[in-house]
């Protein structure tokens, strides 16, 4: 269902938004998370399950709620972006952008000519309500949220040139992959990694571009907002299912230490 995108307006007005990853590609899980009140859901097709075909069921689940749907695509690929845009997603996240050229290519893939290179089938695709949203072609570029991920040392090095590219709505710092490109995978508190993150943060904030990330070790989503981020992912469907299950099982085992699982 084509509709206006309130997430863009909230971010443009310097508001904070809280989201959640969904990795499992399941429309029922997606619907539960959307109904719970998150501002947005990132439907992860880089590391999560799903493809442009199965995506439509998740988007239908989100469309009946106030949450904004964002797909993280596997790569900066204009063909894949075209598929998820035609499916009707309200935002896209493009991983591992390292240069201004890559940033321009990402934005161009999301726009119809002459502003970009997106192929058009607006008369028939779900994104335009199967051709029934008369204003789709004229408004879809301004309505779509484009999130670019900076998650490498090279991306941080080129941050100013990337920020010069018109059309970026959110710059999302991926701390874990960034730490890996610096030989410190997962060690986000390493001084070199911390300095790289801080440099990226300072440059993004100086340009007034909304900044996104995930909570860092020892920092909650509240801490990240206090640090100047506006767009923060608070966990995932996998983590919520896993952690809740582990906590219950642990408590049960502590209460009944002699309990044994029945043989299969």
Active site positions, annotated? 47
**Cβ proximity of 169 and 116 under 8 Å:** no
Among residues 58, 115, 120, which one has the least CA distance to residue 89?
58
**Cβ proximity of 82 and 119 under 8 Å:** yes
Q: Which helix (H) or strand (E) holds 5?
A: none
Phi, psi of 233 (to 5 degrees): -90, 120
**Cβ proximity of 147 and 94 under 8 Å:** yes
- Angle 100-109/78-87 helices, nearest 10 degrees? 40
Name the CA dihedral angle for 228, 208, 145, 58, rounded to a multiple of 10 degrees. 0
CA–centroid distance for 250 within its chain = 32
End-to-end CA distance of the chain: 47
User: How far apart are alpha carbons 153 and 157 in whole angstroms?
Assistant: 6
E strand segments, the chain: 17-22, 40-44, 68-72, 91-94, 145-150, 170-173, 211-213, 231-236
């Amino acid at each position: 269902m084509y509709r206006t995108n309130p997430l863009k307006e909230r971010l443009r007005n310097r508001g904070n938004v809280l989201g959640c990853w969904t990795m499992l590609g399941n429309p029922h899980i997606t619907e539960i998370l959307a109904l719970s009140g998150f501002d947005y859901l990132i439907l992860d097709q880089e590391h999560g399950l799903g493809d442009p075909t199965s995506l439509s069921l998740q988007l239908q689940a989100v469309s009946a709620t106030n949450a904004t749907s964002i797909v993280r695509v596997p790569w900066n690929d204009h063909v894949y972006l075209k598929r998820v845009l035609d499916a009707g997603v309200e935002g896209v996240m493009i991983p591992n952008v390292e240069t201004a050229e890559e940033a321009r290519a990402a934005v161009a893939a999301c726009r119809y000519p002459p502003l970009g290179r997106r192929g058009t089938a607006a008369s028939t695709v779900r994104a335009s309500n199967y051709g029934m949203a008369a204003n789709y072609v004229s408004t879809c570029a301004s309505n779509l949220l484009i999130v670019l991920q900076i998650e490498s040392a090279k991306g941080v090095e080129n941050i100013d040139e990337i920020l010069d590219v018109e059309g970026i709505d959110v710059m999302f710092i991926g701390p874990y992959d960034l730490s890996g490109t610096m030989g410190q995978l997962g060690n986000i508190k390493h001084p070199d990694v911390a300095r790289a993150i801080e440099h990226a943060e300072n440059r993004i904030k100086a340009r007034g571009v909304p900044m996104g990330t995930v909570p860092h070790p020892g920092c909650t989503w509240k801490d990240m907002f206090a640090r100047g981020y506006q767009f923060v992912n608070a966990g995932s469907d996998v983590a919520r299912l896993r952690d809740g299950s582990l906590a219950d099982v642990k408590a049960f085992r502590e209460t009944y230490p002699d309990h044994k699982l029945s043989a299969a």
